[in-house]
């Protein structure tokens, strides 16, 4: 897990989506009732950036097809089995927002997968 200092709380407008990319991961950052919230900025339906949507009542609405996602738990409203990743946030003593981002998974190339398979290794195991 890596922690990124992103923005001062005073620079984040209430209920306004703000897009950041941390460790290659697009993240929607917003403030609800004075508290920062961070979720994935990618709609699972077709990859639309959620930060182009409207934040209202603790949810963001995807601008492409109107799916609503909770900024608290990432759950799609009306279908709890669909969700986006939620990132931990915290405030420093001097008001900076920090976002916790898990390390991006290592992706094996096709060559690495084929060689591992030929050696009888678990091809679903992460590469070293």
Confidence of residue 19 (pLDDT cuts 50, 70, 90): very high
The 8-class DSSP code of residue 118 comes to: H
Residue 128 lies in a domain: no
pLDDT in tens, 37-91: 999 999 999 899 999 999 999 999 999 999 999 999 999 999 999 999 999 999 9
CATH code at 101?
A: 2.102.10.10
DSSP code of residue 48: -
Half-sphere exposure of 95 (CA within 13 A, CB side): 6
In a domain, 126, yes or no: no
Give the side-chain half-sphere CA count within 13 A for 26: 14
Q: Which helix (H) or strand (E) holds 109?
A: none
Contact between 45 and 62 under an 8 Å Cβ cutoff? The reply is yes
The pLDDT, as a whole number, for residue 22 is 96
Is residue 85 assigned to a domain? yes
Q: Does a structural domain hold residue 88?
A: yes
Q: Do the domain assignments include residue 11?
A: yes
The boundaries of the domain holding residue 74 are 2-118
Please tell me the total count of domains within the chain: 1
Residue 127 located in a structural domain: no
């Amino acid at each position: 897990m890596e922690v990124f200092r992103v923005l001062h709380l005073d620079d984040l407008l209430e209920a306004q989506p703000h897009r950041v990319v941390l460790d290659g991961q697009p993240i929607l950052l917003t403030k609800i009732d004075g508290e920062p919230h961070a979720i994935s900025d990618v709609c699972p339906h077709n990859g639309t950036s959620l930060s182009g949507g409207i934040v209202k009542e603790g949810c963001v609405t995807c601008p492409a097809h109107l799916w609503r996602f909770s900024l608290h738990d990432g759950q799609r409203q009306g279908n709890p089995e669909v969700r986006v990743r939620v990132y931990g946030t915290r405030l420093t003593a001097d008001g900076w927002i920090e976002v916790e981002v898990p390390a991006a998974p290592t992706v094996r190339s096709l060559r690495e997968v084929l060689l591992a398979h030929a050696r009888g290794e678990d091809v679903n195991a992460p590469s070293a």
